[in-house]
Amino acid sequence: MKNSKKNNKLSFSTLSLKKELLKSIKELGFDQPTSIQEKVIPHLKSSRQDLIASAQTGTGKTAAFGLPLLDLVDISNSDVQSLILGPTRELCIQISNDLVTYSKYMNGMKILPVYGGSKLDRQIKSLKKGPQIVVGTPGRVKDLIKRKKLVVEDIERFVLDEADEMLDLGFKQDLDMIVNQSPANKRVLMFSATIPKKILSLASKYQKNAVRIEATSLGKAHTDISYETYLVKKHDIENAIFNFLRFHDDKTIIIFCSTRNAVTHISSRILNRGFSVVSLSGALNQSERFKALQSIKNGRCKICVATDVAARGIDLVKLDIVIHAELPYNPETLIHRSGRTGRAGKKGRSILFCSPGERRKYEKLINSAKVRPVINKFLSQEEIEHKDNEKIINYLSRNKKNSSSELKFANELLTRFSNEDIALALIENFKGKLPPIEEVESLGEEQIVQMKNDRKKKKRGKQNSRRNFRKK
């Protein structure tokens, strides 16, 4: 949702939403719908057709389906009318909290999140109170249906959020069971940041003549994110990550890994070097995940190592940088990961490390994702040490209030030691608390120039091919 400062576009008041919803939206400080909201809300309110929609992460997809779902609820009916599925507990909790916020003035509206890692009997007790909307993970929803505690035989709307993950990961068996238990005439609504062809094919098994809504194209989705690539040798990538973290120790950073084993490996090595770090993967229980997220949100920790699935639904507005510990397998993963930063109008950075042997894979990845990273030479030891020196100067430049005893001791030091000895002791103490600078073999400037030239040649080749095609 957009702030209300601009008024030259469609406003929420023109979308025929209930006054209770408009009141809560206004209190949140929003007036104009985003592109995805502007397109989806009228469709869900006026059509019975299935829908598959894609838009950049952070553009308000939850409100796009949540507001019309709330608007369409019959509050006098205590049966489950809408079922929303998400791949992770965090995403389900986030969706549920958002819906509760939007519906705060709708008396009698009940929204219930159900997910693994929380007490089953408590969720069963809440189901007996008659929620009209249930938000859940596939495994817990399937379990509740099998126990005959969650009745989905009369649901009117079935939503899959992060549909690409839901259909591409191991959820098919759970989804099939849930779909088979629900009515044939329900509306199936799918939402995601990206909808690749493979997912479209799978989606057709659950939908009938679905309308496709695309708020932004893949190549234009992340204009607030700058992509940067560092060319380093394969065996130096982890050390390069450690040096990058050291250089940017004032930034909040998430490092993406493809597997939970890689998360454990990377986070352990980061911790061993003296950094404060948390990890997010399927190996953590709900309590551990909650503590990890809280430490990032309240600023106690600035580094998080996570798998792609575990990071779904995480809302870190102040996230500055995304690092890919290895090249993503496909462009959709690159866009999804990078979309965790550059949110709410803030600028973000997405950092890729590429070894010489991965150049072909790298070029294919960025061309498919339609992003153009800036290729940089990696940080030298001199640059990192210069940043350390700046930190010391900034520390000494601050206006500090010292007690009389501290001033007295300072004068005593000046009488007993030279200025140089005191300065060197300060430097040694300051730098001794920092993680070590790792050795990273710097690739020659000629290799980076060659990589840039190869890309230019490829671009010119494509342009010439298009010109020749037009001539024909």
Q: What is the pLDDT along the chain (472 residues), one digit of tens a residue?
A: 655 444 446 789 889 899 999 999 999 888 788 889 999 999 999 989 999 998 877 778 899 999 999 999 999 999 999 999 998 888 899 899 999 999 999 999 999 999 987 889 999 999 999 999 999 999 999 999 999 999 999 999 999 998 877 776 678 889 999 999 999 999 999 998 777 777 788 788 899 889 999 875 444 445 688 999 999 999 999 999 999 999 999 999 999 998 889 999 999 999 999 999 999 887 777 677 778 888 888 888 999 999 887 666 666 768 899 999 999 988 888 888 888 888 766 789 999 999 888 988 999 999 988 889 998 889 999 999 999 999 999 888 886 777 889 899 999 999 999 999 999 999 999 988 899 999 998 776 666 666 666 656 655 555 555 555 455 5
Q: What is the CA radius of gyration of the chain?
A: 26
For the chain, the residue count is 472
Pairing of strands 303-307, 321-324: unpaired
Q: For residues 120 and 136, what is the distance between their CA atoms, to the nearest angstrom?
A: 12
The pLDDT value given to residue 220:
47
As a whole number of angstroms, the distance between CA 344 and CA 312 comes to 17
Tokens found for residue 6: 């601009």
Specify which residues 252 forms β-bridges with.
Answer: none
3-class secondary structure, 30? strand
- Stated pTM of the model: 0.68
Find out whether 136 and 114 touch, Cβ atoms under 8 Å: yes
Q: Where are the alpha helices (DSSP H) in 12-134?
A: 19-27, 35-46, 61-72, 89-102, 120-127
Supply the pLDDT for residue 7: 45
Distance of CA 120 to CAs 89, 115, 123, 139, 466, Å? 14, 9, 5, 12, 60
Distance CA(254)–CA(241), nearest Å, equals: 11
Q: Using alpha carbons only, what angle is made at residue 191 by residues 188 and 196, rounded to the nearest 5 degrees? A: 105
CA angle 307-309-313, nearest 5°?
115
Q: What is the per-residue pLDDT for 156? A: 96
